[in-house]
Amino acid sequence: MKAFFEGIQWLFENILFVPHNFLRELELESWFVANIINWIFMIICTVAMVYWILQLKLHRDNNEEYQDTTAHSFLK
């Protein structure tokens, strides 16, 4: 049973955590390059949020939004 858990340890330390170790070492050289993945995710989330807000505004301007408080049966 001990060998099974040591195998899981080896898998994570030597294979699955290699990208994380690379980014950890890269962070000492350049913080911006090491965090490029975070910057990309922040840009994607910002674009998605702006798109969502514009779609909500579009539906509100066209009076397509149903705002009745009894829209759900459990609120009656």
Q: Is the pLDDT of residue 70 over 70?
A: no
User: What are the angstrom distances between the C-alpha of 75 and each of 21, 56, 64, 69, 70?
Assistant: 51, 23, 21, 7, 5
Question: Which pLDDT belongs to residue 64?
Answer: 78
Domain boundaries, the chain: 2-64
Q: Is the pLDDT of residue 69 over 70?
A: no
Percentage above 70 pLDDT, the chain: 86
Q: Computed from CA positions of residues 21, 24, 30, 34, in that sequence, does the dihedral angle turn out positive or negative?
A: positive
pLDDT tens for residues 27-53?
A: 889 888 888 889 999 999 999 999 999
| Per-residue confidence band for 57, with pLDDT thresholds at 50, 70 and 90 | very high
Q: Is the pLDDT of residue 60 over 90?
A: no
